[in-house]
Amino acid sequence: MSVTQLNLKEEKKPAQTAQVVTFNPSPATKPFGTRLLQNGRQMMAQLLPPLITLVLIVLLWELVCSSPTSSLPAPSRVLEESWELIAHPFYVGQGIDQGMFWHIFASLQRVAIGYALAVVAGVALGVLVGQSQWAMRGLDPIFQVLRTVPPLAWLPLSLAAFRDGNPSAIFVIFITAIWPIIINTAVGIRNIPQDYQNVAKVLRLNGFEYFAKIMLPAAAPYIFTGLRIGIGLSWLAIVAAEMLIGGVGIGFFIWDAWNSSLISDIIVALIYVGVVGFFLDRFIAFIGRLVTRGTANA
């Protein structure tokens, strides 16, 4: 019994490899239409499941909120009530009466400044803490305490210091994003393999060369983990901070809509916040992939 089975297997094997050989050149020679169909099918396989889930969720929401006494609007009512808002994202009006795009843009600007400062300071401090035992012992306990302070708790203090809403919001972003950047950078620096350090020593790289050519690329995967967590937290914090400081910005827009009982507008704004946050995360991940190409798999 087993012998015949073994024979069968062996006969099958060459046939399989032969198939693989002919398989390779085939995509190039296939007609364009077939390739398009193949690609389209792959795209569908990727897009279909999330689309189906989305439709189901919207249907469920419509069902649950369809009664006239419901406290939250159903999707159809959101569309109806906030159509102005959805249709004219680039609308320019007086004061805080702006299209969604401008609110998001204002928030993104604050995040960009605060986050950029956090990246520079965070990577610098992370390198310091990762490199030096003394800096680690001196600074780490302070970082560990400060990083547990909720972002919004910094806001009154920064308002007192800056006496203006905008820099205060930027400071809140900065202080929120910096901790994961510092901590991950430090871990990355401390994990640089001894081999790379030996290579640097044999080559007698000076401090700056070591920093630029060994340290940063070796720690890059860790640093980008920190950067990704940081951007997520920044986006979380900006909405809360803007609710309190007022002015143009997605956070205050939501708060203002609540005060005017425009629940549908709030829902539109939340969708915007979610989508923008998603793209921010993907954007940092994309840059990370570009920069750390080849680093992850040694």
Partner 1 sequence: MAQPYLSLEFIDKTFERNGTRSEVLKQISLGVDKGEFISIIGHSGCGKSTVLNIIAGLIDATSGAVFLDGKHVDAPGPERAVVFQNHSLLPWLTVYENIDLAVSKVFRGKKSKAERHAWVMHNLDLVQMAHAKDKRPAEISGGMKQRVGIARALSMEPKVLLLDEPFGALDALTRAHLQDAVMEIHARLGNTMIMITHDVDEAVLLSDRIVMMTNGPAAKIGEILDVPIARPRNRIELASDRTYLKCREAVLKFLYERHRFVEAA
* Residues of this chain that bind partner 1 (CB under 8 A): 193, 195-196, 198-199, 201-205, 209, 213-214, 217-218, 220, 292-295, 297-298
**In this structure, are residues 210 and 167 in contact, taking their beta carbons and an 8 Å threshold?**
no
**In this structure, are residues 173 and 115 in contact, taking their beta carbons and an 8 Å threshold?**
yes
Q: Which is nearer to partner 1, 92 or 203 (CB)?
A: 203
Contacts of 55 (CB under 8 A, 6+ apart): none
The DSSP code sequence of 120-131 is HHHHHHHHHHHH
Q: Which is nearer to partner 1, 217 or 247 (CB)?
A: 217
As a whole number of angstroms, the distance between CA 12 and CA 260 comes to 73
**In this structure, are residues 240 and 251 in contact, taking their beta carbons and an 8 Å threshold?**
yes
Minimum separation from the CB atom of position 204 to partner 1 (A): 6
Minimum separation from the CB atom of position 221 to partner 1 (A): 10
**E strands in the chain:** none
Q: Which is nearer to partner 1, 163 or 293 (CB)?
A: 293
Minimum separation from the CB atom of position 163 to partner 1 (A): 46
Cα 177 to the chain's mean position, in Å? 12
Q: Which is nearer to partner 1, 67 or 206 (CB)?
A: 206
Minimum separation from the CB atom of position 125 to partner 1 (A): 23
Minimum separation from the CB atom of position 297 to partner 1 (A): 5
Q: Which is nearer to partner 1, 119 or 214 (CB)?
A: 214
As a whole number of angstroms, the distance between CA 288 and CA 222 comes to 10
Q: Look up residue 75 and give its amino acid.
A: P
- For 221, the token pair is 């995967």
